[in-house]
Amino acid sequence: MKLHCVSKLVQFPVQTHHCNSRVLTSLFSTKTPSRPSSSSSSFFSDSLFNRLRVIRDPKASILPVLQQWVNEKRPLDRRELRYLVRIMKDFRRYNHALEISHWMTDNRYFDMLPSDAAIRLELIHIVHGIEKAENYFNNISNKLRTYNAYGALLHSYVRENSVDKAEAIMHEMRKMGLAKSSFAYNILINLYSQNGQHDKIDNLMREMENDGITYDKYTLRNRMAAYVAASNILGMEKILNRMENDPCIMIDWKVYSVAANGYLKAGSIKKAFVMLQKMEELMPYERRKAALEYLLSLYASTGRKEELYRVWNTYKTSNDVMDRPYSCMITSLAKLDDIEGAEKIFEEWESECTTYDFRVLNRLLVAYCKEGLLEKAESLAMKTAEGRTPYASTWNVLAIGYLENKQMPKAVEMLKKALSVGRKGWMPNRVTLEACLDYLKGQGDSKGMEEIIGLLKELGSFDEDIYEKLLT
């Protein structure tokens, strides 16, 4: 077992069509949805979004905040609620997005559009699992079971890496005439790529050609990413050249991030730098924060620390503390063995943050543990816990670190701390949990074992398989 936290390049969600509305974005767009117009003064001047944003606990209900807004007789229309669903989803606050989605129809009695149903299906899958998502799909009206809903279910099967189910729903879409654009094909390209089924990708693209379905930039970008996954740099370059020479395709920074990642994977640092320069040139001003994490991760992979700092100092904004880019910068510096630099970035974030996000701290703790600086890691965690309640994951990081350094009494101590502050349904690292229970069993410490099992039961995370293993 290795303790590490790598900022890896995540595959971009696919998009294939444009929406006629200025407000609604395409179903799986990475672009932040357009805000309501300035006439919707309630949304910004009265700060409903800000009230929701400060709720850091992803499991905490935001319904009281919404109800309080209504009790204050503040205006809130369907358009604003849809915006909130989408922005919470973009911020990965899926529980909150789903709560708003339900509240919109159950409490405000607004009718759902097919796009609303598709987003709800996606959120149900993320929050409650694929079976709940399937049940939702099977029970919605035919009016809502449109191209959007089928696409959301297909995307959910890709998330589950369920090739058979994805192919079955694609077959149904073909029969119903819903596979007339590149959207579903782009999703399947990603699925086949992550399973190494490159022949199926070629077949899909031939099918698109035969059916007169035009490749878009997402089709080609996903194909590029598939070539990168297969370490086929020549194939990647062929697609990149095709895109650069096609006046009908507008290349964005994400294309060059895929190319840079491919060259880095192949060890071609110079070519990667060329792609990174092109990537920087195409980063739109309003989306630089989103691109910054990818850029930092890629520059860290080049091994050029000076370039990493240049990017950080160029694109970070001093008046807007960004938790995720700070986290990424800490991990990137740790990857380059610059622990001192990582500490300075953490101190900078800590001095400016208005709401303490322990996930940023966790990145530095991971770096410390990786270097064997366990006492330093625990000391920092204890210091930051003064007057605050750390996330269970914070203590879990330390438990893993102590386990890897064979300091089992401390690993057990940190595991107990993690379980004592965990939310309902939270589960610690399974390898660490089993190792700690095995250690206690070997020590004949039945009281310690019972304490951990009791904490697991309180969280609703007790696994009968673990109990059976302890009995053997």
Boundary (domain end) residue, out of 251, 269, 288: 251
Structural domain span for residue 468: 391-472
Cα angle: 184, vertex 188, 191; to 5 degrees: 150
Decide if 78 is inside a domain: no
Q: How confident is the model at residue 77 (pLDDT cuts 50, 70, 90)?
A: confident
Decide if 54 is inside a domain: no
Q: How confident is the model at residue 287 (pLDDT cuts 50, 70, 90)?
A: low
Compute the average pLDDT of residues 109-118. 90
**Overall pTM > 0.85:** no
What's the CATH code of the domain at 419? Answer: 1.25.40
Decide if 135 is inside a domain: no
Boundary (domain end) residue, out of 251, 282, 305: 251
Decide if 399 is inside a domain: yes
pLDDT in the model for residue 221: 95
Decide if 27 is inside a domain: no
Compute the average pLDDT of residues 71-97. 88
Decide if 210 is inside a domain: yes
DSSP string, 347-373: HHHHHH-SS--HHHHHHHHHHHHHTT-
Decide if 206 is inside a domain: yes
If residue 441 lies in a helix (H) or strand (E), which one and from where to where?
Answer: helix 430-442
Could you tell me the CA-to-CA distances from 466 to 289, 368, 410, 458 in Å, in that order? 42, 30, 21, 16
* CB distance 344 to 329 below 8 Å: no
Q: Which of 27-41, 97-111, 377-391, 451-465 has the lowest mean pLDDT?
A: 27-41
- How many structural domains is the chain composed of? 2
Q: Is 112 helix (H, G, I), strand (E, B) or coil?
A: coil
Which tokens sit at 114? Answer: 């097919």
Decide if 184 is inside a domain: yes
